[in-house]
Structures are given as structure tokens and as C-alpha cells.
Amino acid sequence: MYMKIHEPGGVVAICDEELIGKVFSDGKRKLDLAAYKDFYIGKKVGLKEAVEALKSAQSANLVGSQAIQAARKAGLDVSGAVLIGGVLHLQVYRL
């Protein structure tokens, strides 16, 4: 997975590595991981490091099954994840 922490605000962006550079669409929605790859590409991380970052994140933008798994293990509610062109996407905000 790739993870990038955006400051200020503590936004954690995580995307499964194999999805970077691709575009997914379901007709109504589009997930363009080619145009927005720089939003996600920070460093490669494993599940443990992603989980730790998500535990303290103010918000998160997650793409892919591994990223969603990390969110679940971090105790985040992943029930709002949507499929866009067969790829899971979730945004989480702590208020």
C-alpha cells in the first residue's frame, strides 16, 4: 500500500499499490488514480503501519481492499465504503 499524510489537518491517504495509475468508473462516479496519484503516493507501508496512522488520523481517504482492511483493524467504521468500478473507496472524518 501507499500512504501519504497530508498536513495540516492530518488527512491520511492510503491506496493499494496495484491501483495507482488506473482509472475506475461505474458510469456515474469516477475514481482517477492516474491524475490524482500524487495524493496517495508517499511511502510504501504494510498493514501494521497503516493501522497505526489511521488510529490517530483526523480524516482518511482510502482506496482498495487492503486500505479498507487497515481501516477496519484501526477500529474505523467501514460500512460506508462504496464500490466504484469494482474498487472499494471510503472517506472517514472524525468530528
Task: Give the number of residues written for the chain.
Answer: 95
The Cα–Cα gap between 23 and 27 comes to 12
Q: Which residues pair with 83 in a beta bridge?
A: 88
pLDDT value of residue 91: 97
Chosen CATH of 2-93 out of 3.40.50.10090, 3.40.50.2300, 1.10.540.10, 3.30.1860.10 = 3.30.1860.10
Report mean pLDDT in 10-residue bins for the chain, 95 residues. 89 97 95 97 97 94 98 96 97 89
pLDDT value of residue 10: 82
Whether the pTM exceeds 0.85: the reply is yes
pLDDT value of residue 94: 84
User: Environment class of residue 19 by beta-carbon count within 10 Å: exposed (0-12), middle (13-18) or buried (19+)?
Assistant: buried
Q: Which residues pair with 93 in a beta bridge?
A: 59
- Residue 7 host element (H or E): none
pLDDT value of residue 7: 85
